[in-house]
Amino acid sequence: MLGVFDIIGPIMIGPSSSHTAGAVRIGKYAHLVLGERPTKAKIGFAGSFAKTYQGHGTDKAIIAGILGMDTDDNRICNSLAIAKEEELNYTFELLELDGVHPNTVDIELEGESGRRISLRGSSVGGGNILINKINGADVLISGKSAALIITHRDTPGMVAKVSNILGINGININKFSLSREEKGGIAIMTIEIDGGIEPSIKQIIQDVPNIVSVSILNAI
What is the per-residue pLDDT across 90-105, written as a single tens digit (0 to 9) for each?
A: 999 999 888 898 899 9
Residue 207 confidence (pLDDT) above 90:
yes
- Shared domain for 60 and 151, answered yes or no, is no
Q: Which residues pair with 93 in a beta bridge?
A: 44
CA-closest candidate to residue 75, choices 124, 122, 24, 33: 24
Q: What whole-number distance in Å separates Cα of residue 178 and Cα of residue 8?
A: 31
Q: What is the mean pLDDT of the chain?
A: 88
Domain closes at, from 82, 100, 135: 135
- Shared domain for 163 and 211, answered yes or no, is yes
SS (H, E, C) 76-109: HHHHHHHHHHCCCEEEEEEECCCCCCCEEEEEEE
Q: What whole-number distance in Å separates Cα of residue 46 and Cα of residue 87?
A: 26
- Shared domain for 117 and 159, answered yes or no, is no
What is the predicted pLDDT for the residue at 197? 87
CA-closest candidate to residue 58, choices 43, 74, 75: 43
Q: Assign 2 a pLDDT band (cuts: 50, 70, 90).
A: very low
What is the predicted pLDDT for the residue at 7? 34
The number of domains in the chain is: 2
* Residue 192 vs residues 58, 69, 82, 123, 178: alpha-carbon distances, Å: 27, 22, 32, 18, 12
Q: Assign 4 a pLDDT band (cuts: 50, 70, 90).
A: very low
Q: What whole-number distance in Å separates Cα of residue 162 and Cα of residue 191?
A: 10
What is the per-residue pLDDT across 57-85, written as a single tens digit (0 to 9) for each?
A: 899 999 999 999 999 899 999 999 999 99
- Shared domain for 57 and 130, answered yes or no, is yes
Q: Which residues contact 50 (CB under 8 A, 6 or more apart)?
A: 94, 95
Q: Assign 161 a pLDDT band (cuts: 50, 70, 90).
A: very high
Q: What is the DSSP string of 118-134?
A: EEEEEEEETTEEEEEEE
What is the predicted pLDDT for the residue at 26? 96
Domain closes at, from 135, 167, 193: 135
Q: Which residues pair with 114 in a beta bridge?
A: none
Q: Assign 17 a pLDDT band (cuts: 50, 70, 90).
A: low
Over pLDDT 90: what percentage of the chain?
Answer: 65
Residue 169 confidence (pLDDT) above 50:
yes
- Find the CATH number of the domain harbouring 185: 3.30.70.260
Residue 12 confidence (pLDDT) above 80:
no
Assess contact for 59 and 92: CB atoms under 8 A.
yes
Assess contact for 71 and 127: CB atoms under 8 A.
yes
What is the predicted pLDDT for the residue at 20? 84
- Shared domain for 77 and 186, answered yes or no, is no
What is the predicted pLDDT for the residue at 188? 92
Residue 115 confidence (pLDDT) above 50:
yes
Q: Pick the residue with more confidence: 181 or 33?
A: 33
pTM: 0.82
- Shared domain for 129 and 26, answered yes or no, is yes
